[in-house]
Chains A and B, each alone.
Chain A
């Protein structure tokens, strides 16, 4: 089943005080089925993170559609009402970044287990253990953690909840080898359960086995492309 159908998605930042438009990507088209993994590549500033953020609606796309087949019905992520996006974020779509936003005086374990009910704590311990966070840090506040430790809490938080679509923005950055292996294994398990993923990875080697298709973003900032430039790549349609 097609889970996500992206048609003509376009993002341009408008910076009012500079009186400037900054195009990021233009007329992007691709499809993603359940259980598929799409790798997004491109140089720094090519718009990889912006694409993920547009799908999560942290950024507002300027044009185009991102039709998502939710449990409640089909919805355009580019245009749905905010309350609907909030609902999907709670229940279906997860976003994993390399940055944790720790909440003051909330422990690592509480943060991961929050809102998961009775089994939450066991699940949180399991995930944190899998990523190799030292048990003595479970009750500590993540504000004081190292970058890698924060990242482990972040990943555990993101993967503790059931998801149908995961947006992964460099989730392996600042992780040690054991945590990277553990994460890849978790992602492989989720993929086997039908979870679709779109990921940006600094080094893609470790994730390569999971990848079903790849899009490369390049050059939207160099000038606006046209439909004639469309190419297909790994079964996904790309305009750059």
Chain B
């Protein structure tokens, strides 16, 4: 096959001037992570702006969830820089978050990053009340008044479209869709700038999935959240994401506007992935 120039080689270079005036909220450069012999993440770089939803797709084992765990500061990479444009008063401007000590890292994680896992057991205490699960986040931030905690939990649950008459039920008594809403309420309770979603609607039935996606879209609009969503469901990505990264064997092999990647995929693997969709 004769060579046809691939636009992917020159698009989205970080050193090019941009029209968009604002600086990215999140900037990751050269992320690498190895588990034993397996290179889970290899040279991943990414900018995400406030109010933007970025999807990460790829088959199981492609490294997409590993990237999310690194961005949530749950683990440290072997290499890489990670900065968040947080309010200046916090004093972390331009600081590589991976270089912080454990306690400061934990503080950034709880205060400024929200996460929703595919499996609610990872994010929630299934036997505590739902409101208590949300309030826990607020307790960590130093709030002690019962009334203030309850009011804030109620607000976060309402923003996540959770039925408030169930707020004192434990998550184990709730449906899958409602459990995800409790996780979401917990994730946004402290009004983080960045929300990470790991397969948030996988396993939910289609109508519940549509409702959860609506809630996410509304939150992104109202709160100007930057959202990174990992999913293997291209339908979810098309409905939600502005941009998308395609990962394979730990690398980003293609990235672009969602409609472009799904309608005019450049890489051979992305073409296979898109054409495999029912």
Interface residues of A (CB under 8 A from B): 12-17, 19-21, 53, 57-63, 70, 72-73, 75, 78-88, 103-106, 115
Contacts and interface: CB of A to CB of B under 8 A. Distances in A.
A20 B242 CA distance: 30
B52 A83 contact: yes
B271 A58 contact: no
Given A14-B266, A16-B268, A105-B211, A83 B5 contact: no
A115 B222 CA distance: 10
Contacts of A88: 19
Contacts of B210: 104-105
Interface string B241-276: 011000000000001110110011011100110000
B12 A81 contact: yes
B90 interface: no
Interface residues of B, number: 40
Nearest to A103: B239
B4 A21 contact: yes
A55 to B, nearest CB: 12
Contacts of B272: 17
Interface secondary structure of A, over-half rule: mixed
A190 B160 CA distance: 39
B169 interface: no
Contacts of B242: 86
A47 to B, nearest CB: 13
B18 interface: yes
A188 to B, nearest CB: 29
Contact of B19 (A20, A87, A104, A115): A87
A9 to B, nearest CB: 12
B47 interface: yes
Interface of B: 1-2, 4-8, 10-13, 16, 18-21, 47, 49, 52, 207, 210-211, 213-214, 221, 239, 242-243, 255-257, 259-260, 263-264, 266-268, 271-272
Contact of A86 (B2, B8, B52, B271): B52
Given A21-B1, A115-B221, A82 B271 contact: no
Contact of B214 (A81, A86, A87, A106): A106
A61 B260 CA distance: 11
Contacts of A12: 4
Contacts of B8: 60
B268 A57 contact: no
A58 B258 CA distance: 8
Contacts of B213: 104
Contacts of A75: 19
Given A16-B271, A60-B260, A88-B19, 11 more contacts: A17-B268, A58-B257, A60-B11, A72-B19, A79-B11, A81-B11, A82-B257, A83-B49, A84-B18, A86-B52, A103-B214
B20 A83 contact: yes
Contact of A59 (B221, B239, B263): B263
Contacts of B259: 58
Of B5, B49, B211, B264, the most chain A CB neighbours within 10 A belong to B264
B223 to A, nearest CB: 14
Nearest to B262: A58
Contacts of A58: 257, 259-260, 263-264
B20 A62 contact: no
B260 A83 contact: no
B1 A19 contact: yes
